[in-house]
Chains A and B, each alone.
Chain A
Amino acid sequence: MHNGSTTDYDALIIGGGPAGQAAAIELANLRLRCAVIDEQARPGGQILRQPPASFEASHWAEEASYRPLKQQLHQFETQSGIDWLGRRSVIGLQSDGTSHSVLISGANGLQQFTAPHVLIAAGCYDLPVAIPGWTLPGAMGAGAMQTLLKAQGILTGERIALAGTHPLMLLIAAQIHAAGGTVAEVAFDQPFTRFAKAMGRNLGTGLRHAGLLAEAGKAMLTLRRAGVPVRFGRKLQGIIGREQVAGAIFAAGATEEQIACDSIGLCYGFLPQSDLLRQAGLAVEWAAPAGGWAARHDDWMQSSTPGLWVAGETTGVAGAPIAREEGRIAGLGIARALERITPEDAAEQAKSSRTVLRKMAGFADLLAGLADPREALTRIQPPETLICRCENVSAAAIGDVLRETQDANAIKRITRCGMGACQGRSCEHALLRMIARETGQSVGQQPGFTARFPARPVSIGDLLEHDLQ
């Protein structure tokens, strides 16, 4: 077996997005050896998801906000001293106090690495929004729609709709339009006044010109000029179709309106990837407003377990510019812990990142407030709505049990919700909202599922061929 079990690395980095890259670059600059593990074949993360090496994209990630990220990606790809372990999934993370072991699954079986430091920069994923029809072919997370376009040159339909609360929808719609696709509608759940108010409050701060919001503003103009409807206060009730998506139903006031589309991207926000955090027993907290479990950390991005570090969306979804600075600080923190850099030098070098983080904090809050999906997500699902996609568990089946118990693990045992291949990543969020509704508490006060090994299904043959000791 391709057993790469070594302790040669000073640090292992899980995730090759902006945070993981930034940390790796810091470590490599200080001549520390690290490996970066990622499920994608090439580095970039979701934000800079690269086309296959055999493809050649024109106009790839051209928008201005991508520029600094592309510079960093180039630096990462050309920097020596970083081992890239692409197309591999981390399925296990265990800590024995002084060293941490990471079990990795790939096409050639398993590999186990141990290192004194592990950085979890695993990013985030599209918030799964359990509404009627969300399982139909053609309905997907808006991020899926965007990565198919960006990295594969694929439009997912002839008439594509986007619905949700997150301004990223505008960018995706503009990208679809630019690629020659037809956008049926961009439907914001919230009223336009929420945007206007938030922008108004921040008129003097310059925040509304920052990053994603500036891009979103530009995109809005482009879409309007192209005659693409961008509407507000459109509350998505369900997606219809038999074999595939055929349309979407919105409630506007007391009436319902149906639009025709053959693909729809749902864009209500993003959840931190938290299965490894929770498998390793790290302290997490509920990440309001969108939700999910975010890692707690100290000033150097060290988690509640010494030697395990966190950066980027894993600590709460705040966007790539913030993820990058957190990754840098984590890299410096690891080098500091390894005594490769003095505490004074580390503090000095981290200053610029901390300044950016302070400046960006207001932007992250503004964006989170604008994109707040809670009102949309607390709407009651019709009983037939599938909550657990893996095990076909409906809202009705969970509702029956909710009166008896409000413990996520108990509900899992009784209904099988969360027992499938995704380990609850697709349903836990909706289930916790149902529990909160039942108990009258706020979401996240009740714990979620107990995280179990393996984080991704793995063949028994692979597990056995590998020496698991």
Chain B
Amino acid sequence: MWLAEQASPGHGASGQNAGSLHFQIERRFLEREGGLGYEGEQTARLSRIAVEDWSSLETTMDIDLNIHMNGGLMVAHSAAEVELLEAKAAREQAMGLSVETIDAAEVQRRAPYLSPDILAANFMAAEGHADARIIAPTFTQAARSAGARIFTGTRITALRKHGGHFSATMESRGPAQAGGSSRPAKTETRRITAAKVLICSGIWSRQLAAMAGLHLPLFPAPLTMNVTQRRDPFLPYLIQHVGRRLSMKQASAGNVLIGGGWPSRMWRNEHEFDFTRPPALVAESLAGNLKAAVETMPGIVDFDLLRSWTGITAVTQDQLPVAGEFPAMPGLFCAAGGSAFTLGPTFARLVSRQILEQDRAEADALLSVASPARFESLNGFMGQ
């Protein structure tokens, strides 16, 4: 098993997202088509598996990942939002997700720092957060210990399938280290062949699929995150809002992370988006995100904002993630698309089973909603 990473593990969205472990149906799905969309329901199905995966991750991998699953509150400020919460909870319960609706008094009892204007909340005990900044590096260590060869600072410059196998060209630059010992001083090019290839490169996945001659319609979603100065622990929950773009949690170090999907602005070249520069902060997003935070948790008005940052996640047009094998090119797999932090370990486990042909049918069924097969209509045009 060889793994190529163009920068360092966690350099992209996996290290820059705010680390929510959110399993309730997301606001972005609820606001579509005026109600509970099919897509939200389908990702909730994956969420049910992800809850188990995250709960057992530290034990099965025998490492500390700063995972906190103390519960998550999705709050509502208006009667219409409360209705949405109730309908959502009913749907989630039907799908086997343990979600309860609590009233304003109960919200205050559990989280007295939340606004008295909050009318109700959905509570899900399994939600929480993990430390996004250490997950990828820690997984990398574990993979290396298990025998994988890791190449950081290494880009794939060519990828194609010949007959029954793939060939790829890898370019390692600068001081990046190969394997764990030798360290190429300058650019070093390697040709490798493999029976199977997994593309899990976030927004860059689209380009890698294109190298192989396939469409992988992923689009950049440049987002904004904020972090406050450290405070003593007070917030055990993940806080989200059913009607506003908001996620809040307190990291192990004490900082409060504030996100929720507020846009930032991509830099552009003459012909395309520039993924190499961090997107520019948008003042309206910063203000909107902080306003939602203060309206939900008034005391945070006194906190100092330490840093706002931006990162690029990848979404599909139907907002469902992509995980599985391309029917148009057997042996080529993908794991990318939205919610890939929360769903990442689950994708990793299930796609690995597909790759290794272990209980494949079950893995196929569980991932069917995310399968790249839905791009066959596009890839049918692509001659190989």
Contacts and interface: CB of A to CB of B under 8 A. Distances in A.
A463 to B, nearest CB: 6
A459 B306 contact: no
B121 to A, nearest CB: 22
A454 B152 contact: no
B7 A407 contact: yes
B283 A409 contact: no
A464 B290 contact: yes
Contacts of B177: 403-404
Given A410-B8, A410-B137, A463-B305, A468 B175 contact: no
A450 B278 contact: yes
A460 B303 contact: yes
Interface stretch (A36-44, A205-213, A324-332, A412-420): A412-420
B137 A460 contact: no
A441 interface: yes
Contacts of A401: 137
Contacts of B141: 404
B191 interface: no
Nearest to A435: B175
Interface residues of A, number: 38
Contacts of B253: 391, 416
Contact of A460 (B174, B280, B302): B302
B133 interface: yes
A439 interface: yes
A457 B304 contact: yes
B217 interface: no
A186 B283 CA distance: 49
A353 interface: no
A147 to B, nearest CB: 25
B8 A407 contact: yes
Main SS of the interface on chain A?
A: loop
B287 A94 contact: no
A202 interface: no
A413 B10 contact: yes
A94 B229 CA distance: 23
A208 to B, nearest CB: 41
Interface stretch (B39-47, B293-301, B353-361): B293-301
Contact of B305 (A391, A404, A409, A460): A460
Contact of A468 (B284, B294, B306): B284
A204 interface: no
Contacts of B284: 468-469
B139 to A, nearest CB: 12
Given A441-B175, A446-B175, A453-B307, A461 B11 contact: no
Interface string B305-331: 111110000000000000000000000
A460 B304 contact: yes
Interface string B266-295: 000000000001101101101100110110
B134 interface: yes
Contact of B301 (A416, A453, A460): A460
A421 interface: yes
B286 A463 contact: yes
B265 to A, nearest CB: 10
A458 interface: yes
B338 interface: no
A414 B306 contact: no
Interface residues of B, number: 44
Looking at B176, B301, B304, the one whose CB has the most chain A CB atoms below 10 A away is B304
B280 A461 contact: no
Contacts of A419: 307
Contacts of A92: 281
B368 interface: no
A460 B293 contact: yes
A452 interface: yes
Chain B, interface SS category: mixed
Contacts, number: 110
Nearest to B140: A404
Interface string A191-228: 00000000000000000000000000000000000000
Query: Counting chain A CB atoms within 10 Å of each CB, which of B137, B183, B300, B303 scores highest?
Result: B137
B229 A457 contact: yes
A406 interface: yes
A405 interface: yes
Nearest to B307: A452
B39 to A, nearest CB: 31
A404 B151 CA distance: 10
A423 interface: yes
A423 B153 CA distance: 25
B134 to A, nearest CB: 6
Contact of B287 (A410, A421, A463): A463
A267 B228 CA distance: 33
A439 B133 contact: no
A454 B305 contact: yes
Given A459-B304, A464-B290, A468-B286, A410 B229 contact: no
Contact of B134 (A391, A413, A459): A413
Interface in B158-197: 174-177, 183, 185
B355 to A, nearest CB: 26
Contacts of B128: none
Nearest to B285: A468
A459 B307 contact: no
B261 interface: no
B10 A410 contact: yes
A421 B229 CA distance: 7
Given A413-B137, A463-B290, A464-B301, A457 B306 contact: yes
B9 interface: yes
Interface in B1-55: 7-11, 15
A395 to B, nearest CB: 19
A205 to B, nearest CB: 40
B302 A464 contact: no
Contacts of A457: 229, 304-306
Given A441-B175, A469-B284, A410 B307 contact: no
Contact of B290 (A391, A423, A440, A460): A460
Contacts of B228: 460
Sort A-B residue pairs by CB-CB distance and give the 4 closest, nearest first: A439-B175, A410-B8, A413-B133, A468-B287
Interface of B: 7-11, 15, 133-134, 137, 140-141, 152-153, 174-177, 183, 185, 228-229, 253, 277-278, 280-281, 283-284, 286-287, 290-291, 293-294, 300-309
Given A410-B15, A460-B293, 9 more contacts: A404-B8, A404-B141, A405-B8, A413-B133, A414-B134, A416-B253, A453-B286, A457-B304, A461-B294
10 contacts: A404-B137, A404-B140, A410-B11, A410-B15, A452-B309, A453-B308, A459-B303, A460-B293, A468-B287, A469-B283
